[in-house]
Chains A and B, each alone.
Chain A
């Protein structure tokens, strides 16, 4: 296993790092060592705006996942096992199902002659079909659906570790549900929330199938840009540099969240100490 992971994970990453320092714009034809690729990436306002938009999209997607995933994960953790069964299956299905199939499903939903349009027209809400595809919100909705299970499962696993007796104790101490939620559950669930947020964010900023199929040429994210660069333009050094920017930003985000979790400000204990 060590050999496999070093050979097929560490070595490729190092190789990629190396080629991101190559000059030239086709395959691996150049030689030498230069920061050109990175300089070009960060000095071009088109690339930097894609980068920033990707981060913003990723953040919004993670936030939506948190807001709608938390109540779901919470209820899942507190349900009796029999009721939990089919719900868990629905949550896990999109995880195991191939991404392209899910995205294709969304094409059926959002397409010009698709599910939403025919529903709205039949109900008389809009007179004629509208275009939902190729817009940023559409891409984000699809990303939310894809990565929501990660959030739900992270929240669920942390909630199952919180003893329901704590909530009963809070109720006994005259806390209403909202107070219990705010003062007891959320502080204790912070580790799970952070794990879920981290996963969804890193997965969202590196998505390339979804932006390409749902967003087309109008919505470009970093992932689809890299795919284009490597597979269509065969500009490997530039693609490698972008991939590394992506990788490092993901790591930086993870590190930042870990640092936050370590600081006492947002953890349950921290609140108490303050």
Chain B
């Protein structure tokens, strides 16, 4: 995946391996801009996730790939063929809708066969394929049921079977887990990933749930306000966020604004000082809760005093809001039973700066 405006060379070199590619795509609704100049591509067999808060344009982007929304400008191509002005039914995509959109008046088997009929498959092949797909999602016994008689998880699997039956070049998933309860969601996530890996289909996947994105994707496109904030593997997105929006949206963190001195030391505007080796200039330090630890002898780093402002017990861990030299930081750790810090306690902590991310302020 690439941001073409930044990295043209790579874009040209890799263009051929993209199954889906969007070039400078924008969508305006009157005055409001849903998607602004988005360029991205999904490589063959890759699971690419569009992640962002609601209203960030990720669903609009997905619908432009499926052909339900026509871009105001830019092009959408699938398998290197320009599809921008093609109607949805001429595009080689299979979509799983947020509400699944199973046809209530057709049986499960009829739903799965619907796309194959439109592709003019012969009856025998059709029936064979439907059986195969139902086996794939492990629901062959439900073939003659109506969608209304299925549970949410079953409906989702049928919707997946229906979309994959046509062997589309691209599988599109629009918030596929949002209608499921929390436990089922985790299970279906694993199942779905398994199935998609098994059939090796290029997948575009929209979600607002960072955990879903981190566990399922090969690469993540973080979107905000119609624009792409960052593209990268889950590790890159989490460990090396390139903007403070990404840092805050993915996982829990404290952001400190400040300046890096000529000797590489970061001084926050609140007065906290961290010795490091960053390049000089204004910047924002991203401090993850797990980077703050209780100080013990022999540990690297400098001990600091921290006053506990808030304490939240989560069972497996306790999350503390600390006052460190006038800056508020969040830490998360597991404390021995009976030794949980209370509000007002003063702890001796150390901030692990080794893998700490410093976002340089854009020169403006």
A and B touching (Cβ–Cβ under 8 A): no
